[in-house]
Amino acid sequence: MFNAATIWQVVVNGASLSAIYVLVALGFTLLFGIMRVVNFAHGAFAMLGGYALYYFWGRFGVPYVIAVPLAAAFVALVALIAEGLVFRWFYQRMFESMIALLGLNLALVYSAVMIWDVSERSIPPAFSGLIEVGGLLLPKDRLMVICIAVVVLVSFWVFMTRTRQGLAMRATAQDLEIAETQGINTSVTYRIAFLIAIFMTALAGALYAQIYSLSPFMGDRPLMVAFVVVILGGMGSIPGAALGGVILGFTESFLATFYGASVSSFVSFGVVIALLIVRPWGLLGTPDGARA
């Protein structure tokens, strides 16, 4: 089993898994980093992104390159309603946000069940077929996700570090009151951060639904993954989410291929627990009086 061909395939699989995981975790960590909100409805927004793509690309035939960001933007705009009605009451209040967003998740998921029925659907693939390089196989749609993940990460990093709005967001995250005294309109900043976070979540959800399948319950796994990635990388850190996603993706690929799924789960959980005990702020997070 441990031959060169399998090992290379494991690496390729790991890369595609990492890309998916990173995308899925970005929106989640942004919401926590800036607004200290644990978005338990993360999976629900990803699911909505999936259904949006199903309609724009699958039913209305919008060209793929436009359909994907359009679906994400559509969900982000509609989510503003949720922002005004639900999220706004819970900024900076971690525990209350957890429960309220849990409620929002239930409401969204079961509304989806009533609207769309429980059966799984598939979104027609944008690129089908495989790329074969020297015996290694990679489905084209997964390669596309890797490319999109890189593009999203880079553009997001540029936005946060090189633009005024990005600077405003980082300042607001560090200290709300001081940022306000500096003249930053924090409620606008929060709203922009919310839009970007949900945009990325819905985008990840759309791609996720296309690679796997679409159903009202599909969001459970992205939520779990986002949690683990963000714990690994550090809550609120974007490079952390990238690093966490890569570590999780490659570890899962390696362990599950060579040792089976249960070993992979146990080890992943064990490592995360150990990390939380030894270095709770994650690999790239900032320690903030984490330990007594």
CB atoms within 10 A of CB 5: 10
In the bound state with other proteins, the residue whose beta carbon lies nearer, of 166 and 222, is: 222
For CA atoms 49, 233, 242, 133, give the dihedral sign: negative
Helix (H) or strand (E) holding 96: helix 94-116
Q: Candidates 60, 154, 260, 286: give the one binding other proteins (CB under 8 A).
A: 260
Q: Candidates 11, 60, 66, 89: give the one binding other proteins (CB under 8 A).
A: 89
In the bound state with other proteins, the residue whose beta carbon lies nearer, of 157 and 212, is: 212
Q: Give the tokens for residue 87.
A: 């999220």
Q: State the Cα–Cα distance between residues 122 and 211, nearest whole angstrom.
A: 9
Q: Which of residues 200-219 bind other proteins (CB under 8 A)?
A: 212-213, 215, 217-218
Q: Candidates 1, 4, 65, 81: give the one binding other proteins (CB under 8 A).
A: 1
Name the minimum Å distance from CB 215 to other proteins: 7
Q: For residue 227, state whether it binds other proteins (rule: CB under 8 A).
A: yes
Q: What is the 3 state secondary structure string of 102-125?
A: HHHHHHHHHHHHHHHCCCCECCCC
Q: Which residue has the tokens 């683990």?
A: 228
Q: For residue 67, state whether it binds other proteins (rule: CB under 8 A).
A: no
Per-residue mark of binding to other proteins, 16-55 (x: CB under 8 A): xx--------------------------------------
Q: Candidates 111, 163, 174, 185: give the one binding other proteins (CB under 8 A).
A: 111
Q: Give the tokens for residue 240.
A: 């952390």
Give the binding-site size for other proteins (rule: CB under 8 A).
74
Q: Which of residues 130-189 bind other proteins (CB under 8 A)?
A: 130, 137, 139
What are the residue ranges of helices labelled H in 126-217?
140-162, 164-174, 176-181, 186-211
